[in-house]
Amino acid sequence: VKAPEPDRRPVPLGSRVALPAGPMDTPTWAIPHWLRRVATSSTLHMSIAASGQRPTITLDRVPAGCGGRVVAVGSAHAVDLLHEGILPGTHLRLRTVAPVGGPVIVELGRATLAIARPIAATVRIMLETEGSP
Amino acid sequence: VIHRHQSLASRGAPVPSRRDGADATGAAVARPAVIALVGRPNVGKSTFLARASRRFAETANAPGTTVTLERRVVTAGGRSGLLVDLPGTRALDDRPADEAPFWELLLAERPDAILVVIDAGDVGRHIPLVIACRELGLPIVVAANLADEAERRGVELDRGRLSQLLLAPVHRTVGRTGDGVDVAVADALRLAERRVSVRDGRSWPRATAPASIYPPTVEARIAATAATTAIPHSLGAAALDEAPTAIHVAAGTISPRGAASLLLTRELEPIRWLTALDWVEQVQRRADVHPTLADRLARLATSPWPGLPLFLAVTLGSFGLVVLFGGWLAAAMAAAWSATVSPWLGSMIPAIVPFPALAGALLWSLDGGLLGMIAVGVPYVLTFYLVIAALEDSGYLMSAAVLMDRLFAGLGLSGRAAIPLLTATGCNVPAVYGTRVLRTRRERLIGATLATLTPCSARSAVVIAALAPTVGTGAALAAFGLVAGLALSVGFATNAIVPGRQPALVLELAPLRLPLLRHVAAKAWWRFRSFVVMATPIMLVGSFALGLVYESGFWAPIATAVGPFSGWWLGLPAFATVAIAFGFLRKELALQLLIALAAMTYGAGITGVGEVLSPPQLFVYAIVATISIPCVATLAALRAELGGRAALGIGLGTIGLALLVGGVLARLLGIAGMPAVG
């Protein structure tokens, strides 16, 4: 998948982005639920390449070294994440994953964040850059 | 609400209404201009405060080091005022250290201007807080701090453009060297003074350009909310009850629009962040420079390999440094003392003081007591402080702790707890206060329990000084391992017993920084000085009292009272048990008294403890002294933070644990039931 020019202003200012209060958005691309559950990120890439659409996956499943743009944040931890600058439109990169179910470690601009996996699971990412694992 | 009124009233000055200015006849209370330091965690506010006031302030490269307010008088540019250091916050409605949201803390100080400290290398993350502060209706000055670090990383900041966008002066500052700090403070004082003079009716408010980042629909909502916020004074306390922001509007601390921005913060905050994304494009340019060594190290430290082995190596290395350097220093100083001062005291005091018992007690205090200070307090505690200060300023342990998040989760804590637990290795008292960064009472209870079980510098000094020179370095290491194992078991047990679960976390990691030698030395010296000032009198009085008991023949009844239990259960002579009990006052006292005993009865120096106690006895002694009841200062902190019952529970619990472990160890090592010596 070729990385396009990153769109820095995905949401026009003032268009009542507020906090995504509802449940998490549903991905638009059509992969059966059962397949999504077993799909690794690489198979996701292939299926996306085939369908011509870009993948959105939750942050806890982003492979190390990959970057992307946040497209949706679940409401449960939205305030906490917002205070760290994670809201629809921000770019981030996954650095590493701490062992035995520890937090994911994410680079956001110059900052480094440790995000517990249950919280990371509420953040939906559109992959943009492929990292070297 | 009552406490809110009190907090306003307790500041001494009457709450001025906006009409005060009109009828001011010179009777207005002269209040110094108050400037609040606001910024995200770990942006260097405390370093900034220390620079501005030219006095030391406790800092570390870790978010959440400041949990209490610190007020300092500052003078810059011919003006003076009060600079208030507030805990770091991510947003005005964040709850950084306590139950109250940050804006309540901020407005209770009734600031006349806000000095917002931001990271010059990453302004996008900090702009939303600046916008939020600006909307309060207070004059703001922005300090683009950590500028040297930003420049090293190839980040270029257009301060002129940022200043245009924020409608506020933006200064380049470097807290660590003091560059630009005075200029920024002087600017804030100028704006604050101007505001004070407007409020007192001495000058007219200057017309300011309307500045809004919001679209008309949101702006209309703000205006509507602002109209309801401006409750007239006459409505009284009942109305204020419902709108805590209104009291600040009535007092003239913030504008009605400011109050509205606080009430609507949930709606406005995302727009502020999106605006920040937009503005960063205009003010920040990033040159592609090779990542600094610190950044590359940070990547290594947060990856499982080689992060975990590195963590082990750093921990053992620090331990080795304290053992080697502290041991060398202790031996050298004790030898010098025994060679010069000790004989002189030994001949002088009996000659001057006519009563043998009193002379003996004085010798205990001046010779033995001070030798104890020199052999334990000074070398080991000072070395420990230096190592801890360097580690704190590097920010390394914080990054490493993330890798062990699962361990913390098992203990019922979030990774945030790493901050107070790391503090605890220096001293338990600030660590107990530091548990405020934890979100739930349950987490704070577990965190505080673990903090009191973490060997502080004094207890580490006791363990190392008692075991390393006499029994061996391995024994000291084993003792630390045993204590760590016990603390972990207690943590797991507490987590299982206390109902509830730990909250998941989002935590910003501190970047690695090369510790400045001057900073580390200043911090270690500051802590060390307060240690010496606090501990020396207690040591002198404690050893004098014990010496008096010993020399005047009152020791025998005490020994017969304590001895049987001490010997039967712990395998220790009565004297060692009494010394451990004295450790309640200050932990290092436990060993220092033992050294005093060795010096007075056997005439030996630091290695003399080896003649008073056998190696297995020393091991049991060190363990029991380390685990048993925290010192009185820690207990007071526990009581203040968690209440009397929790403090009592933790205190009694540690005594029970210490006696249990000591008894079991005594049986395993085969010293139980030994006849009591002394």
Q: How far is A47 from chain B (nearest CA, A)?
A: 30
CA angle at residue B163 from B162 to B167, to 5 degrees?
Answer: 120
Q: How far is B270 from chain A (nearest CA, A)?
A: 6
* Residue numbers in B near A21 (CB within 8 A): none
Chain A CB within 8 Å of residue B212 CB:
no
Q: How far is A80 from chain B (nearest CA, A)?
A: 7
Determine the Cα–Cα distance for residues B589 and B373; give it in Å rounded to an integer: 9
Q: How far is B654 from chain A (nearest CA, A)?
A: 30
CA angle at residue B447 from B441 to B452, to 5 degrees?
Answer: 125
User: Per-residue DSSP letters for B606-673?
Assistant: GGGHHHHS-HHHHHHHHHHHHHSS--HHHHHHHHHHH-HHHHHHHHHHHHHHHHHHHHHHHHHHT-TT
Largest interatomic CA distance in chain A: 42
Nearest CA in chain A to B89: A83
pLDDT of residue B185: 94
Q: What is the CB-side half-sphere exposure of residue A18 using CA atoms within 13 A?
A: 11
Chain A CB within 8 Å of residue B275 CB:
yes
Reported as type and span, the H/E element at residue B142 is strand B140-145
Tell me the per-residue pLDDT of B487-533, one tens digit each, with 9 for 90 and over.
889 888 888 877 766 566 777 888 888 888 888 888 888 878 877 88
Nearest CA in chain B to A120: B506
* Residue numbers in B near A100 (CB within 8 A): 406
Judged by DSSP in three states, B41 sits in coil
Helix axis angle, B457-467 to B327-339, nearest 10° = 70
Query: Inter-chain contact A114–B415, Cβ cutoff 8 Å?
Result: yes
Nearest Cβ partner for B506 among A15, A84, A95:
A84
Chain A CB within 8 Å of residue B501 CB:
no
What sign has the CA pseudo-torsion B408, B413, B414, B417? negative
Pairing of strands B140-145, B113-119: parallel
CA angle at residue B59 from B378 to B38, to 5 degrees?
Answer: 160
Q: What is the CA radius of gyration of chain B?
A: 29
Q: How far is B304 from chain A (nearest CA, A)?
A: 6
Determine the Cα–Cα distance for residues B220 and A85; give it in Å rounded to an integer: 26
Query: Inter-chain contact B215–A13, Cβ cutoff 8 Å?
Result: yes
Nearest Cβ partner for B509 among A19, A77, A114:
A114
* Residue numbers in B near A13 (CB within 8 A): 213, 215, 271, 274-275, 278
pLDDT of residue B114: 94
Within chain A, which residues score under 70 in pLDDT? 1-54, 129-133
Q: How far is B480 from chain A (nearest CA, A)?
A: 25
> A interface mutation test: which of B218, B272, B277 has the most A CBs within 10 A?
B277
Residue type, A27: P
The interface predicted TM-score of the complex, written ipTM, equals: 0.71
pLDDT of residue A53: 58
Query: Inter-chain contact A115–B506, Cβ cutoff 8 Å?
Result: yes
Nearest Cβ partner for A112 among B274, B275, B509:
B509
CB B65 within 8 A of CB B437: no
CB A109 within 8 A of CB B124: yes
Determine the Cα–Cα distance for residues A24 and A61; give it in Å rounded to an integer: 16
CA dist list (Å): B544 to B344, B361, B556, B603:
18, 5, 17, 17
CA angle at residue B380 from B375 to B383, to 5 degrees?
Answer: 140
* Residue numbers in B near A109 (CB within 8 A): 122, 124-125
CB B516 within 8 A of CB B176: yes
Q: What is the CB-side half-sphere exposure of residue A85 using CA atoms within 13 A?
A: 27
Q: How far is A33 from chain B (nearest CA, A)?
A: 27
Q: Which residues pair with residue B232 across a beta bridge?
A: none
Query: Inter-chain contact B271–A17, Cβ cutoff 8 Å?
Result: yes
Query: Inter-chain contact A98–B406, Cβ cutoff 8 Å?
Result: yes
Tokens of B384: 């420990």
* Contact residues of A toward B, CB < 8 A: 8-9, 11, 13-19, 77, 79-87, 89-90, 95-96, 98-103, 105, 108-119
pLDDT of residue A21: 36
Nearest CA in chain B to A15: B215
pLDDT of residue A109: 81
Determine the Cα–Cα distance for residues A55 and B589; give it in Å rounded to an integer: 64
| Cβ neighbours for B16, distance < 8 A, ≥ 6 positions apart | B28, B29, B199, B251, B252
Residue B260: closest CA among B109, B138, B166, B135:
B135
Chain A CB within 8 Å of residue B149 CB:
no
Within chain B, which residues score under 50 in pLDDT? 1-28, 234, 237-241, 676-678
CB A103 within 8 A of CB A117: yes
CB B132 within 8 A of CB B272: yes
Residue B70: closest CA among B59, B83, B85, B56:
B85
Nearest CA in chain B to A80: B506
φ, ψ at B512 (rounded to 5°): -75, 140
